[in-house]
């Protein structure tokens, strides 16, 4: 078989390890050939490919990013988009099947294309860990590690200056990164989109920590908005690039805390450093296994399936299983964490 691989959506540590795992397993176990489809669906739509012989994936599992590029191209748009055109392009390129590595949007598109008869298997990718039907996704552990290490640093400065430090982490819709990094760093408050919390409650947690002589550490996911203050926090909206405005929730939160408690407060937006660079060992191993399993699925012609982590096993689930629901932080996990606040 000749298999195309694409990586789609935001960058995520472990993409290269998936690619390497797929290529090595495919070549050594099955004798497959591989091409990289450049920049996500764009490469498939436009037929823009690069050969992926074994030498090309040499040593890349520890490199962040993706050697085949990524983008947010929609495969149903443009004059060469849609299942019929893509099918023709695949035939022209001699591509028998596609491994699509991406998040919700990518998997939804893959499902539609598979339903239309294309040969696709999926690998779930989300730095935010918000895809259902998989225990974890690669990249998440790296993001949590980077955020935790940054918070370890912020804390010492908070304590030297008797300040409240606010760390804004990724998570527009879900708070997994905030929850895990906040627990790991011993945060005094963790604020996530799934949970309504008032500023009064936030200030109470901050005040409790300060009373015990600690420098309060507040972790906030970028998508959180305080209960009852939606307006004040949402006015700034998106900037001219369509991104959440810097001076976003973290900055506003620090201002609110300082105004209410009198405790000097500072915000740090961790931003893009959470999604780049060397993956953790956990993510490298997981990503390698997922890439290998994706090729097994292709070889079994398990179209419409994605590979997934369940406990310590890699299994297959239909695309739909990942698309039914956003995987939110369950209330129980938040309550567990909240015991440690204040």
The answer to the question of whether 272 is labelled as a binding residue is: yes
Residue positions counted in the chain:
342
- Cβ distance to a copy of itself smaller for residue 20 or 111: 20
Q: Does 136 bind a copy of itself (CB under 8 A)?
A: yes
Q: Does 114 bind a copy of itself (CB under 8 A)?
A: no
- Report phi then psi at 171, rounded to 5: 135, 80
The answer to the question of whether 274 is labelled as a binding residue is: yes
Near a copy of itself by CB under 8 A: residue from 154, 197, 210, 307: 154
Q: Does 278 bind a copy of itself (CB under 8 A)?
A: yes
Q: Does 125 bind a copy of itself (CB under 8 A)?
A: no
The answer to the question of whether 105 is labelled as a binding residue is: yes
* Crossing angle of helices 140-161 and 281-299, rounded to 10°: 160
Near a copy of itself by CB under 8 A: residue from 5, 6, 7, 104: 7
Report in angstroms how near the CB of residue 21 gets to a copy of itself at its nearest. Answer: 8
Secondary element (H or E) of residue 123 = strand 120-124
Near a copy of itself by CB under 8 A: residue from 235, 241, 242, 324: 241
The answer to the question of whether 163 is labelled as a binding residue is: yes
Token output for 18: 């998936």
Q: What Cα–Cα distance (Å) separates residue 340 from each residue in 87, 184, 185, 197, 221?
A: 54, 11, 11, 16, 18
Which one from 128, 130, 141, 296 is the annotated catalytic residue? 128
Residue 141 catalytic?
A: no
CA distance 218 to 197: 13
Residues in region 282-311 near a copy of itself by CB under 8 A: 282, 284-285, 288-289, 292, 310-311
Q: Does 169 bind a copy of itself (CB under 8 A)?
A: no
CA distance 293 to 133: 16
Helices (H) and strands (E) in the chain, counts: 12, 11
CA distance 193 to 226: 9
Residues in region 52-71 near a copy of itself by CB under 8 A: 54-55, 58-59, 61-66, 69-71
Q: What Cα–Cα distance (Å) separates residue 325 from each residue in 98, 108, 200, 243, 322?
A: 24, 12, 31, 24, 7
Burial class (CB in 10 A: 0-12, 13-18, 19+), 213: exposed
Candidate ranges 14-22, 88-96, 97-105, 193-201; the one touching a copy of itself (CB under 8 A) = 14-22
- Cβ distance to a copy of itself smaller for residue 88 or 162: 162
What is the set of active-site residues? 128
Task: Mark the binding-site residues for ATP, compressed into ranges.
Answer: 10, 72-73, 103-106
Annotated binding site for Mg(2+): 104
Residue ranges for the binding site for substrate? 126-128, 163, 170-172, 222, 266, 272-275
């Amino acid at each position: 078989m000749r298999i195309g691989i694409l990586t789609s959506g935001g960058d995520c540590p472990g993409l290269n390890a998936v690619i390497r795992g797929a290529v090595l397993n495919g070549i050594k176990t099955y004798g497959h050939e591989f091409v990289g489809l450049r920049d996500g669906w764009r490469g498939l739509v436009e037929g823009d490919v690069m050969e992926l012989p074994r030498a090309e994936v040499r040593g890349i599992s520890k490199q962040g990013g993706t050697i085949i590029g990524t983008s947010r191209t929609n495969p149903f748009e443009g004059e060469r988009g849609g299942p019929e055109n893509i099918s023709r392009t695949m035939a022209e390129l001699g591509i028998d099947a596609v491994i699509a590595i991406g998040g919700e949007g990518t998997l939804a598109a893959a499902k539609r294309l598979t339903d239309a008869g294309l040969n696709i298997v999926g690998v779930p990718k989300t730095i935010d860990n918000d895809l259902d039907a998989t225990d974890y996704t690669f990249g998440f552990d790296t993001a949590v590690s980077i955020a935790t290490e940054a918070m370890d640093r912020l804390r010492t400065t908070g304590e030297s200056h008797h300040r409240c430090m606010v760390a804004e982490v990724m998570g527009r819709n879900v708070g997994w990164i905030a929850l895990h990094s906040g627990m790991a760093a011993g945060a005094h408050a963790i604020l996530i989109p799934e949970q309504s919390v008032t500023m009064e409650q936030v200030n109470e947690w901050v005040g409790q920590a300060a009373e015990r002589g600690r420098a309060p550490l507040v972790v906030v996911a970028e998508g959180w908005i305080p209960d009852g203050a939606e307006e004040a926090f949402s006015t700034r909206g998106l900037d001219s690039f369509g991104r959440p405005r810097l001076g976003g929730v973290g900055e506003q939160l620090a201002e609110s805390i300082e105004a209410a408690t009198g405790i000097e407060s500072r915000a740090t937006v961790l931003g893009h450093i959470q999604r780049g660079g060397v993956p953790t060992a956990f993510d490298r191993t997981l990503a390698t296994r997922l890439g290998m399993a994706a090729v097994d699925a292709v070889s079994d012609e398990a179209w419409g399936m994605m590979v997934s982590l369940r406990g310590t096993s890699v299994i297959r689930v239909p695309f739909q299983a990942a698309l039914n629901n956003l995987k939110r932080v369950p209330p129980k996990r938040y309550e567990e964490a909240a015991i440690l606040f204040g």
